[in-house]
Amino acid sequence: MSAPAPIPTDFSSRTHPRILCLFDVDGTLSPARGDASKEMIDLLARLRQTCAIGVVGGSDLKKIREQFHVNGGGRDGVTLFDYFFAENGLTAFKFGKPLATQSFINWLGEEKYQRLAKFCLRYISQLDIPVMRGTFIEFRNGMINVSPIGRNASTEERHAFEKYDKEHGIRPKFIAALKEEFPDYGLTFSIGGQISFDVFPHGWDKTYSLRFVTGEDSTNEPQWDEIHFFGDKTYKGGNDYEIFSDPRTIGHTVTSPEDTARQLEELFFSS
Ligand SMILES: [Mg+2]
């Protein structure tokens, strides 16, 4: 096996140094929660000679690294891309070097966070629902996840709550109360899954990552002629929707990693 190519430190050697391609991970470069294939990693290496490339995943750094580990030929997944964004860019790398990290608690501050957490717990304590378990607030790096029934609920209890919530609107009412109580906090509330909703700052979707490539945070980024984005959940409500429809990007919807490969061949390698 030959030694891996050195990590690039600029874009000047690319065929198109002013084109950047950004990729979602799950369903775009890899099967959902699975490993990127050797073929995909080889294709990305080839594409990297043509233009700049980056990844924008919603999962945390550890998870995305793992997805490029098995077939990455011993390379750290972070170095397979010019830009590497985990948690939508809350953790960011360029040329394998960390750029910045941000967290929900840093952004909101302890005092405001405690007011929010206490309000949630008080609100839950006054709910009348058939079942309550434990872990009502899960504290994560980029968000909090709030569950009226608690995240310790069993699968059966989750199904039952979901049904009950559809009839009684527990989560929508909870969110309405939070919006009324904290109108100035700049928070987005998003119902997902069966038993909970996410709370995170406005704009902390995948468009968060664009600040690092557009020079909004540093001054020496190239003026890209084109920023392409490839993702599978580009419909409204999907986690690629905002960056896909952002005026700064050219959006491409893919149906699978194989479809991504096909579209890349067509766009960049067919003559
Ligand atoms: Mg996806």
Please say if 198 is a catalytic residue: no
- Residue 53, both tokens: 């490339």
Q: How far apart are CA 148 and CA 133, in angstroms?
A: 9
Neighbour-count burial for 58-73, b at 16+ CB within 10 Å, e otherwise? bbebeebbebbeebbe
Catalytic residue among 24, 165, 205, 240: 24
> From the CA of 35, how far away is ligand 1's center (Å)?
13
Whole-number Cα distances in Å, 218 to 8, 99, 106, 126, 206 = 19, 10, 20, 47, 18
Dihedral sign for Cα 233, 235, 236, 241, please: positive
pLDDT of residue 1: 46
28 alpha carbon to ligand 1 midpoint, in Å?
Answer: 6
* CB-facing half-sphere around the CA of 133: CA atoms within 13 A: 17
* Residues of the chain where predicted confidence (pLDDT) is lower than 50: 1
- pLDDT for the residue 223: 84
Amino acid at 46: R
User: How far apart are the CA of 106 and the centre of ligand 1, in A?
Assistant: 27
- So what's the pLDDT on residue 175? 96
For residue 32, what pLDDT is reported?
84
CA of 25 to the centre of ligand 1 (A): 6
Q: For residues 163 and 109, give the distance between their C-alpha atoms in angstroms, rounded to a whole number.
A: 35
Compute the distance between CA of residue 269 and CA of residue 15 in angstroms, rounded to an integer: 11
Farthest CA pair distance, the chain: 66
The answer to whether residues 162 and 194 touch, using CB atoms and an 8 Å cutoff, is yes
Residue with tokens 């995240």: 151
Q: What are phi and psi of 146, to 5 degrees?
A: -110, 130
* Burial (CB count <10 Å: 0-12, 13-18, 19+), residue 182: middle
Q: Provide the pLDDT for residue 109.
A: 97
Active site annotation includes 24 = yes
pTM: 0.85
Domain architecture of the chain: domains with CATH: 19-90+205-269 (3.40.50.1000), 105-201 (3.30.1240.20)
